[in-house]
Chains A and B, each alone.
Chain A
Amino acid sequence: MINKKNRYYIFLIILLISLFLQITFFSQIFAIGYIPNIVLIILIAFSVACRSENVLYFAFAIGMILDIVSISYFGSATISMVFAIFLVLYLRPIVLKYTLSYYLLVISFVGVLVYNILYVVLININDFYALVSNAGEISLIILFQIIITLILIYPITNLFSCKNEK
């Protein structure tokens, strides 16, 4: 359990370390197409655990940094990240009513799917033919991202558990 006062500082440190690990360590160790998007998983986990709209600001900042270090269209990662986290925050109270045990998996699934689909569409906005012709490869990559998220989301969410939050 993390103290509410220091929650955001610890979350920010974890997020920054994960970001740098992702753009260096993970991108080198894992084959292209199978790099876990650890920053997205952490953002989703924090959104679900602590239900704070302030996470949207973190999503925006992380998206900006990812856009700056990539050669894809500027803004693709930012918009995709903000949309995905907003959807997670929006779905959280709705899904929580019905499937208490599996709400985490459902929300994570939706968050990762939306992020990846939106990102792929935005970076290929000038070349939909390439998007369509590589749909098979793209689907496999997205499927891998979903699977790795569903495996990692539970322990990471527990790390951020916030007391008295509903």
Chain B
Amino acid sequence: MKKENRKKNQVFIFLVVLSLLLIFLNKAGYLSYPKNYLIYVVSSVSSSFQSSSNRFNDVLNTFSQIDKFKEENADLKEENLNIKYELLQLKEMKRENELLRKQLGFSQSSCSVGNCFNWVMGNVTSRESSNFGNSIIINIGKRSNIEEGFPVIVSGGLIVGKVVDVFDDYSKVMLITDSNSLINVISQDTRANGVVKGSYGIGVSLEMINQAEDLVKGNLVITSGLDENIPKGFILGKISKIEESPNKVFKSAEIDLFVDFNHIEEIFVAIK
């Protein structure tokens, strides 16, 4: 019994020391090749599990939301008509803008604030499984010119996170619902500036809004462009509840996100 306990203690101490050594080596940057190889192996296998999971999830969703689909369909038809009308107006405004630019001699650019972006499409191969963080692994990396800090969106211009670690063929993305995620944003109508902070994967909150600034329930919240590498105009969600108190320095608000983070399959990374 004593011999067994001694062996158990030795194995434990050995593994703890090994863990600390690996942590140190990782910090010093010596583990990039082994990590690269391991993530390649893990992600290659997890991709097949992920595709099956996506299919299962779709079937589950379809059955559970049939009634909701009917209602959504009716709402979307109405919204579609309104958007078509807005689009017509915007086209007119664009024409007018181009004419004015020509008259004033401005050069045309499709880039935003001096930053030009291309888009690379990728797929989610696995997700963080701990309940205290929120990240995904995507199947594009250094070979696709991905770098740390690049924003990640889904179709519709909805931002879901940013790249935090890059390997040859894979990258880790910290989702905006992660508690370490901070994104500078503005309210689209009132232009109130604040910071969106993630909350242990459950949701996000809009914080640090000046008391003098206005917030309106239902307003869209978009990226402000003040973060490095994250251009202006990516949508996060809409303001659902405003929390203000004269005793506090800042206002805060809750945001209803438009993205269902459990159903992200395809993503796009903005490359400078």
Contact = CB atoms under 8 A, between A and B. Distances in A.
Interface stretch (B86-94, B95-103, B109-117, B129-137): B129-137
Given A25-B56, A56-B12, A71 B128 contact: yes
A22 to B, nearest CB: 4
A116 to B, nearest CB: 8
Interface stretch (A76-84, A95-103, A149-157): A76-84
Contacts of A161: none
B128 A27 contact: yes
A75 B23 CA distance: 6
B267 interface: no
Nearest to B200: A137
Contact of B7 (A53, A68, A77, A137): A53
A29 interface: yes
B130 A72 contact: yes
Given A22-B129, A25-B56, A32-B177, A79 B16 contact: yes
Interface string B25-68: 01100010001001100110110011011101100100000000
Contact of A35 (B8, B18, B131): B131
A29 B58 CA distance: 10
A35 B177 CA distance: 16
Most chain A beta-carbon neighbours within 10 Å: one of B26, B56, B164, B200: B200
Contacts of B50: 24, 28
B131 A32 contact: yes
Contact of A71 (B7, B174, B263): B174
Contacts of A32: 131, 134, 177, 200-202, 261
B128 A23 contact: yes
A141 interface: yes
B210 interface: no
Contacts of A69: 39, 42-43, 46, 126, 128-129, 137, 172
Contact of A33 (B11, B127, B201): B201
Contacts of B169: none
A119 interface: yes
B265 to A, nearest CB: 9
Given A53-B7, A68-B35, A60 B19 contact: yes
Given A53-B11, A69-B137, A26 B202 contact: no
Main secondary structure of the interface of B (DSSP, over half): helix
Contacts of B120: none
Given A21-B49, A53-B4, A68-B39, A141 B131 contact: yes
A123 interface: yes
A51 to B, nearest CB: 8
B12 A86 contact: yes
A57 B18 CA distance: 11
B262 A56 contact: no
A141 B39 CA distance: 27
A119 B130 contact: yes
A26 B261 CA distance: 13
Contacts of B134: 32
Interface of B: 1, 4, 7-8, 11-12, 15-16, 18-20, 22-23, 26-27, 31, 35, 38-39, 42-43, 45-46, 49-50, 52-54, 56-57, 60, 126-135, 137, 164-165, 172, 174, 177-180, 199-202, 261-263
Given A25-B49, A90-B8, 8 more contacts: A21-B49, A23-B49, A23-B129, A24-B49, A33-B131, A82-B15, A86-B8, A89-B8
